[in-house]
Structure 1
Amino acid sequence: MEYTPTQPDAARPQPLDAAVPQQPGPSRIGPYEVFQLLGEGGMGRVFLARSPGSRLVALKVIRPEYAEAPDFRGRFRREADAARKVSGFFTPPVLDADADAPQPWLATAYVPAPSLHEVVRRFGVLPEPALRALGTGLAEALLAIQATGIVHRDLKPGNVLVAHDGPRVIDFGISRALDATQVTRTDAVIGTPGFMAPEQITSGRAVGPAADVFSLGCVLVFAATGRGPFGSGGTAEILYRAVHTAPQLDGVPGALHSLLAACLDKDPARRPAADALLAALGPTEPSALLTPGLRADLAAREAHAAVLVAAPPLPAATPDSAASPDPVAPGRPSRRRFLWIAVGATAAAGAATAAVTGWPPGPGRTPAPGGAGAGTTVRPSPAVAAAPAPLWTHPLSRSVQNGHLALLGPTLVHWDQDGAVGYDAAAGTERWTASPRLPSDVSSGRPRWLGAYGDALYGTVHGDHEYLLVLDGDGALRASHSLSTGEQASSGDYVVSVLGAGGGVAFVGIEGDQGYVVRAVDLAAGTVLWNRTMNGSDFQATADGQSCFLQDNGALYGMDLRTGNVRWTARDVVRPGTYPGLAVAGNAVLVTGVKVQAFGAADGRELWTAVNESVYLSNTAVAGDRPFVADSQDTVFALDPRDGSQLWHTVSPLHLDGAGTPSQERGPSAGTSLVVAPLSQPRGLIAFNASDGKVRWAHQATGTEADGKTSWLVKAGGTTVYAASDTTLYAFRSDTA
C-alpha cells in the first residue's frame, strides 16, 4: 500500500542549523527555496518551501524509482495538469509542477494547519455540529476534484487539514499516475487500509467517484469515534473487513448513522453522490470545528509561517559562502536569526494551549492533559505535579558523548563508548569504573562499549584479533571471546555494533573486506556460530530465547538462534535506509519507523499496524510485554501487543526530547509502573502511569542544567526512575496511586 505523508506539525519547526530527525533537504528545488522537511512517505518527501514571490508552498518531490519507471513522467505531467484545474475552496491549489526534473516535483499552496488525524488525537473526537461542518467541506472538495475527472483515491485523516475556515483536502492529483506505474509490486494499489473502498481493494484501478465517498464516510467515522470503521490489526485483516463485514458505527451520532452507513455500502451504485451528501449534511457553520486549543494551535502555525515569509532570501552559492554557514549582508539580520525568531513566535502564539481543553474524548480515549497541543518552546505547566525529592543524586566526574543508562541487576551503569561507571541503584554510591583485564595480545587501545542487554554490558577491543568483551553488573569481566572466524582476523574487520543478545548468544555487526556481516557468538563457549552478509548498512537485530530477528535492507528475517537458518522472511517491511527500531513484545516482533508493525515471532505473519504517522517514532520500549512508543508530536502511546489497539495515548504537557528520532535511545523508557521520557527546553523528564497514561509528575531542570548541551538520559525500573544530565545522576522514587 502506498503511504503518503501529511503536513506534520509546522508549529514546531526545527531551525535549519539544529539537529532534526528527518533527513535534511536541498537548499533549492526548481525555483523554490527550501526551509525544512515536512514529511516523508512511500511516494516521496514533502518540503516547506518559498516561491520567488514569497509564497509558502508544500513541495512534494517524487522518489527516483517512480521517475525511472516507463511512461511515469508523461502520466505525472497529465495528472498535474488536471490537478491545476481544480478550483475549490476546500482544496489548496496546485501551483506548479515539473515532470522533467531529475526527481519530479509538484507544488501546492501551503496550509498552516494540523491534519484531522492530529486534531482528533490531541483535542478529542468531534461532536455532531463539527462532524457536519467537516463533512460538508469534504463533500465540496470532492465535487471540485471530481469536476476535473480526478478521483482522489487516498482520502484519509492525514490528507485532511483543519484550518480556521474549514477543512482542506490535500494530496490529490498524482495518485493515478503513481498507481499506473506499479513500480513496487504487481498487485500494489494506492490507498490506506481502513479508508479504501471495497472495489479499490479487489480491482485496484477500477474505481470512480463513489470510492472517494466511501473514504469520506470512513474519515467521518474516525472523526466521530477516534477509530476507523473496520477496526485495527494487520493490513490483511482490515482489508478483509472492508470488503466482507459491516462497518463499526458505535459512537457515531444517531442523526448521522444512516447517512454514514449509506456512504459505506459495499455496492458503489448504492452510495450517495457527493452533491447529495453535501445537501444531507448542510447547512453548517465552519467555526463549529474550532475549539480554543485548536485556535491557539492555528495561531502558532500562522505566526511561524509569517516569519518564514519574511526571512531573508538564501544567498546564491559562492566560493566564500561555502565556508560560512550563515552569510549575511552587513546590517541585515541573518537568515538563521529569522528562523530562531520563528521558533519564538510559535512559542508565544501557542502558549495558551497549555491551559485550555478541547472536545470531550470518545470511548476509550485519553484527553490531552490540559488540552496541550500547540508547539511552545516552554509550556507553563501549573497542572503538572513536581517530581518527588530525589532519592539520591551523584555528581558525574566525566562527560559522556552519546551516553546511555542501563540497569544490570542492582547496578545502574552510565556509559558511552569510551567508558562505563557502575553505581549502586539503591544508594547512588559509585561501585566500579570499567577497567577489565584485557587479552594478552592487546598491547594498546582500550575497550569500546557498544551495548547493554540483560544483565551484561558488551564491548570490543582490538589486538591480534577483535575481541568481544562481556562485563557483568559487578564490573567483572565475565567473558572475552575472539570474533575471528579463522586463525587470523581480517585486518579490514571492524566491529560497528553489538546488536543484541539473548539465549546465550550475542549478535555483532562487523564492517570488513566483504562488506557488512552479522556474526553470532556463543557466550559460553566463545565460538562463532554463524555469519550472515548484509545487503545494506541499515541492519538491526534483536532476539528472544529461541530466535534472532534481523532487519536488512527493508526485509525482516526470523532465524534460528544458534544455526542462523532462516525460518521465515517478511519482505518490504520498511523502505531501505530508514533504520527502523526492533523489539520483541510477547509473541510479536515489532518494527518501528513511521509506524509500528507487528509480525508473528514464530512464522512472520503480519499481525497488526499501529500509530501510522507521517513522522518518525521513537524506538518501542517494552515492559511486561506491553509496547510503549512516542512520536515527535509529544504523544506517548501504550499498545495492546495482541492487536495493536491503543490502550491509552497521552499528549505530554511538556515537550519531549528526541521522541521522533529513529533507532536512538531517546524515546520513552518503560517499567512495570511508570513510563518516563526526557524533556527539552528546559531539560528534565516526565513520568506517566504505565497503566492508564496519566501524567504523574515532571522534573524540570533549573540553572545551567536547564540549557544543557546534551539530552537527558532516562531509565525506568519498577517505581524508581533514573536520569542523567550533563553533570548529575538522579534517582526518583514514585508511587502510582
Structure 2
Amino acid sequence: MPQPPVAPTRPLTGLPQPPGQIPGQVAGQVQGQVPGQQSPSRIGPYEVFQLLGEGGMGRVFLARSPGSRLVALKVIRPEYAEAPNFRGRFRREAESARRVSGFFTPPVLDADADAPQPWLATAYVPAPSLHEVVSGFGVLPEAGLRALATGLAEALLAIHDAGIVHRDLKPGNVLIAEDGPRVIDFGISSAVDATQVTRTGAVMGTPGFMAPEQITSSREAGPAADLFSLGCVLVFAATGRGPFGSGGTAEILYRAVHHPPQLDGISSALTPLVSACLDKDPARRPPAASVLGALGTADPAALLTQGLRQDLARREAHAAVLVSAPPVPMTPLGLPEDPFATTPPRGSSRRRFLWISAAATTVAAGGGAAALTGWRSKPSTTPARGGGSAGTTGRPEPKVPDGPEPRWTVSLKKLDSAQLQLLGDVLVHWEQRRATAYDTTAGKELWAGSLRLPSGTSGDPKWLGVHGPALFASAWSGERGYLFGVDATGKQKFTHAITEQGADPQFADFVESVLSVAGSVAVVGTSGHKGYGVLAVDLGSGEVLWSRKVKGSDFQAHAVGSRCFLQDNGTLRGLALRSGAERWEVRDVIKPGAYPHLSTDGKTLLVTSTKVQAFGATDGEKLWTAVNETTTISPARVRGKRAYLHDGPGTVFALDMRSGEQVWHTESPVHLTTTGGAQDQGPVVSSSVVAIPTWATGDVPGFVVLRASDGKTQWAHQPSGAKAGGKSNWLLQISGSTLFAASETTLYAFRSDTP
C-alpha cells in the first residue's frame, strides 16, 4: 500500500507497544520516544502509566485520574510555557475546549495553565488512529468513507460551535472507535500556533493536510481551514495518500497552494463534496453543518473490519486492566520531576515499567482487584480575603449530615454535556442536540423540544438554553441564521432570521449563543468568516436593534433593565440595551486568558475570574475588589444584597454587594466544582440555602447544601455505586423550598432547607 506523505502520527492507544511519531510544526519536527526515556510517576493529580508519543507541542502520556478514569495527558514543552503570553492563550484555549460537546470529540476533563509545564487532560479512547487503520486494514469503502465524513463533520461542528479552530486535523488526530470516529487534539493548537508564529515565523500543521491560507499566513486560518483538512483526510482514507502527493515538505506545501487536488479513487457520489472542501478559496468551502446535511445518515459499523474489531477488543481489554491496577504509591520512586527529562536515574524507568506490568498482570490473572486510592484535597483554614472584615466563619462538622430522602426521582435520558434549567414551573434538561422538559411537581416528562424549521436549513437545530421566558435554539441555512424560542408548554413562540448573507459571496453568520435576556430584548453571540459578534434582538419583532464586532471568542454580555454590559478582550463596556450606545468603558479589567463571568443586581456589576471586581452599573466606577486569588473562582450568584461564590480549594463566600465585605466564608467539607468555563453556573441560591456540586474527580459526585444566612453546612448528597449516576458533576436548580438535582441518569427533587 502506498505510504502517506507524512510520518505516522501518535495513536492514543492503551497497548504496551513503542509509541509512534507525532508530526509537529512544519519547521523542526520531533521524533518519537527515545529509548530509555521515562514517564514521571504523577502529573498534577494523575497517575502516569506510560509515554504514548511525542511531538512539537509536547509529550502525551496515558494516565489515570483519582476517579479511576483513563486520560490522555498532553504536557506542553518548556519553550512554549516560557514564551510571553503563552499561558494566557493556553488557558483561554483550554476553557474553550471544555465547551466542546459532541459525541465525536473526547471531552476535555482538566487543564493547568500554571503548572511548570502546562498540561491538558482529555478522556482516553482505546482505539487506533485512522493512519493505523488504513495502513493495517486497508482503505475505506464508500460506506465507511461516508461514516467517517459524517463523524468528522459533526466533530468539527461541535469544535467550531465552541469558537475553536482545530488547525491540525489529520489521520493521526482521528481515532476509529467501534461506534464511530473521534477527533482529538483540538484544545491547544491555536495557543501553540500563536506562540510559534510570534517566535519563529513557522507555521503549525502537517504537510499534506493544511489549507492554503494556513500555509501562507497561519493567522488567517479560520474554521474553513479545518474543512480543507477534512477533504484531505477523506482522500487519504479512500486512497491511502494525500491529495497533493508525496515528496519533500516544500513540494507538498507548494502543490497545496497552487495545484488542484488528486481525487482519483474517490467515488463519483462523494467527489463533488470532497472537491468543495478542497477549494483554494476558503469563502467557497462549505461549513461543517452543510457537509453534515449533504451526507445524511451513515452507519458507523461500515468503518469496521474483522481485523479492526479484534484490534479494538484487545485495546479495550488492556484499558480495563490499567483501570483496575493498584494505585501507584505517592512517593516519586526516584523519578525526576521534569516530564521532559531525558536521562533517568539508572534503572528507575525499568523498575517502574516492571512494577506497572506486574500489577496489571496480577489484576488480569484474577489476583484480586486492589482498592483504588481516591484523591481528596482537604481545604486548609482560609483567612479572610479581599476587602473588609472577615464576617462570620462557618466551620464544617467533622461528618457531613446526610440529606433528606428525595420527594421523587425519575430516570433521565442520557445527554452529553447536559445542563438543567428552570423555565417557569418546568425543568429543562438539555444539550445542543436535544431538550426535554419535566414537571417540577412529580418529575413527569412533559415534552421533547422540537421545532418547525424554515426550508433550506442545514442539519438539526442547536439548543442554546433557557433565558427569561424561553428555551432558545438556532439553525442555519447558509443564507440566514435563525433564532427560535419555545415557551414552558413546548410551543414554538417565534422564528427570527437575525443574520443574513452579505453582498459578497460569504455565508451568513452562525447564531452561536444567547448571552442574556432582559425584558423583550435578547443579546446574542454570533460567529462567521469575519470573526465574532454581538447582536441585540427584539424578541417580539425579530428586529436586530444593534450589532458590534468583538475581538475574540471569550466575550460575555449581561443585560438587566435598560442596560447591557459587555466584556471583550479585557475591556468592560456599559451600553444602552436597545440602542447599543456606549455609556462608559473600563480597560484592562482582566488579564489575557482569564474567562470572566458577569452578574449584577442592577446597581453593581460583578466581574468574576480569579477575583471579584465590582463596578458601578451607571458609570463603570471601580467600587471594590474581593477574593483575589491565583486560580479561577466560580461565577457569582447574586441574591438580594449578597453575592455567593466559591474558590477551587473549597471555600464558599457570601459578599456584601455594596462594600465587598465578607458576610461569611465557609470551608466546604467536600471538594467543590469550579470549571470557570462558560457552562459553569456557580452556586444555586434560595432565600435559605446555597447548594454547590461536588468535584467528580475528587470526592464522590453529588452536592453540598449550606445555610445562606451564615454558611453553616446543612447536608450533602453523595451516593455511591450505581446510585452515584456516573462520574459527571451533578446539575442543580432551586425553586422555592425544592432543590432539583440531576446526575447523568436520574433527576431528583429534595426539600432544600431540611438539615
Find the aligned partners of 1:582 and 1:31 in 2 and give their Cα distance: 31
Q: CA deviation at 1:534?
A: 0.6
The answer to whether structure 1 residue 614 and structure 2 residue 630 are counterparts is: yes
Among 556, 573, 576, the residue aligned to 2:589:
573
Q: CA deviation at 1:48?
A: 4.7
Aligned position for 1:468: 483
Among 11, 22, 29, the residue aligned to 2:78:
29
Find the aligned partners of 1:357 and 1:604 in 2 and give their Cα distance: 35
Aligned position for 1:653: 669
Aligned position for 1:227: none
The verdict on how the C-alpha distance between 1:360 and 1:727 changes in structure 2, with shifts beyond 3 A counting, is closer
Find the aligned partners of 1:465 and 1:567 in 2 and give their Cα distance: 31
Q: CA deviation at 1:346?
A: 8.6
Aligned position for 1:365: 392
2:354 counterpart SS class: coil
2:486 counterpart SS class: strand
Q: How does 1:221-300 map to 2 (within 5 A)?
A: none
Contact persistence 2:437–2:448 (CA under 8 A): yes
Q: How does 1:383-422 map to 2 (within 5 A)?
A: 383-396=399-412, 398-422=413-437
The verdict on how the C-alpha distance between 1:543 and 1:363 changes in structure 2, with shifts beyond 3 A counting, is closer
The answer to whether structure 1 residue 456 and structure 2 residue 470 are counterparts is: yes
Q: CA deviation at 1:360?
A: 13
Q: CA deviation at 1:468?
A: 0.4
Q: CA deviation at 1:625?
A: 4.8
Aligned position for 2:241: none
Aligned position for 1:209: none
Instruction: Select between 574-583 and 516-525 the one with higher mean Cα deviation.
Output: 574-583
Letter of the 2:78 partner, please give it: I
Among 742, 747, 750, the residue aligned to 1:729:
747
Instruction: Select between 478-487 and 400-409 the one with higher mean Cα deviation.
Output: 478-487
1:704 counterpart SS class: helix
Contact persistence 2:634–2:647 (CA under 8 A): yes
Find the aligned partners of 2:637 and 2:681 in 1 and give their Cα distance: 11
Q: How does 1:101-120 map to 2 (within 5 A)?
A: none
Find the aligned partners of 1:457 and 1:473 in 2 and give their Cα distance: 8
Give CA deviations for 1:622-651 in whole Å, capped at 9, x if unaligned.
Answer: 223521111111111111111111111111
The verdict on how the C-alpha distance between 1:451 and 1:716 changes in structure 2, with shifts beyond 3 A counting, is same
The verdict on how the C-alpha distance between 1:329 and 1:413 changes in structure 2, with shifts beyond 3 A counting, is same
Aligned position for 2:171: none
Find the aligned partners of 1:706 and 1:411 in 2 and give their Cα distance: 24
- The number of residue pairs the alignment matches comes to 441
Aligned position for 1:495: 511
The verdict on how the C-alpha distance between 1:593 and 1:32 changes in structure 2, with shifts beyond 3 A counting, is closer
The verdict on how the C-alpha distance between 1:490 and 1:14 changes in structure 2, with shifts beyond 3 A counting, is same
The verdict on how the C-alpha distance between 1:696 and 1:529 changes in structure 2, with shifts beyond 3 A counting, is same
Find the aligned partners of 1:687 and 1:497 in 2 and give their Cα distance: 31
CA RMSD of aligned residues (A): 4.3
The verdict on how the C-alpha distance between 1:49 and 1:556 changes in structure 2, with shifts beyond 3 A counting, is closer
Q: How does 1:495-644 map to 2 (within 5 A)?
A: 495-644=511-660
Contact persistence 2:480–2:500 (CA under 8 A): no
The verdict on how the C-alpha distance between 1:453 and 1:360 changes in structure 2, with shifts beyond 3 A counting, is closer
The verdict on how the C-alpha distance between 1:552 and 1:444 changes in structure 2, with shifts beyond 3 A counting, is closer
Which segments of structure 1 move beyond 6 Å, counting only runs of 4 or more? Answer: 30-33, 326-329, 343-346, 356-363, 486-489
Contact persistence 2:391–2:661 (CA under 8 A): no
Q: CA deviation at 1:510?
A: 1.0
Contact persistence 2:682–2:692 (CA under 8 A): yes
2:653 counterpart SS class: strand
The answer to whether structure 1 residue 690 and structure 2 residue 708 are counterparts is: yes
The answer to whether structure 1 residue 331 and structure 2 residue 342 are counterparts is: no
Q: CA deviation at 1:407?
A: 0.8
Contact persistence 2:499–2:508 (CA under 8 A): no
Find the aligned partners of 1:308 and 1:545 in 2 and give their Cα distance: 60
Find the aligned partners of 2:710 and 2:726 in 1 and give their Cα distance: 31
Letter of the 2:531 partner, please give it: G
Letter of the 1:573 partner, please give it: V
Contact persistence 2:394–2:664 (CA under 8 A): no
The answer to whether structure 1 residue 716 and structure 2 residue 734 are counterparts is: yes
The verdict on how the C-alpha distance between 1:530 and 1:19 changes in structure 2, with shifts beyond 3 A counting, is farther
Contact persistence 1:618–1:663 (CA under 8 A): no
Q: Percent identity, please.
A: 41
Letter of the 1:609 partner, please give it: T
The verdict on how the C-alpha distance between 1:636 and 1:15 changes in structure 2, with shifts beyond 3 A counting, is farther
Contact persistence 1:674–1:718 (CA under 8 A): no
Aligned position for 1:169: none
Q: CA deviation at 1:453?
A: 1.3
Contact persistence 2:77–2:340 (CA under 8 A): no
Contact persistence 2:417–2:431 (CA under 8 A): yes
Find the aligned partners of 2:663 and 2:538 in 1 and give their Cα distance: 38
Find the aligned partners of 1:587 and 1:31 in 2 and give their Cα distance: 42
Q: CA deviation at 1:585?
A: 2.5
Contact persistence 2:45–2:65 (CA under 8 A): no
Q: CA deviation at 1:668?
A: 1.4
Find the aligned partners of 1:552 and 1:48 in 2 and give their Cα distance: 29
Find the aligned partners of 2:565 and 2:589 in 1 and give their Cα distance: 13
Q: CA deviation at 1:726?
A: 1.0
1:386 counterpart SS class: coil
Could you tell me the TM-score, scaled by structure 2's length?
0.52
Aligned position for 1:240: none
The verdict on how the C-alpha distance between 1:670 and 1:563 changes in structure 2, with shifts beyond 3 A counting, is same
The verdict on how the C-alpha distance between 1:690 and 1:304 changes in structure 2, with shifts beyond 3 A counting, is farther
Contact persistence 2:565–2:575 (CA under 8 A): yes
1:384 counterpart SS class: coil
Find the aligned partners of 1:359 and 1:501 in 2 and give their Cα distance: 37
Find the aligned partners of 2:114 and 2:384 in 1 and give their Cα distance: 32
Contact persistence 2:403–2:754 (CA under 8 A): no
Among 443, 448, 455, the residue aligned to 1:428:
443
Aligned position for 1:699: 717
1:333 counterpart SS class: helix
2:332 counterpart SS class: helix
Contact persistence 2:501–2:508 (CA under 8 A): no
Find the aligned partners of 2:593 and 2:390 in 1 and give their Cα distance: 38
Q: CA deviation at 1:385?
A: 1.5
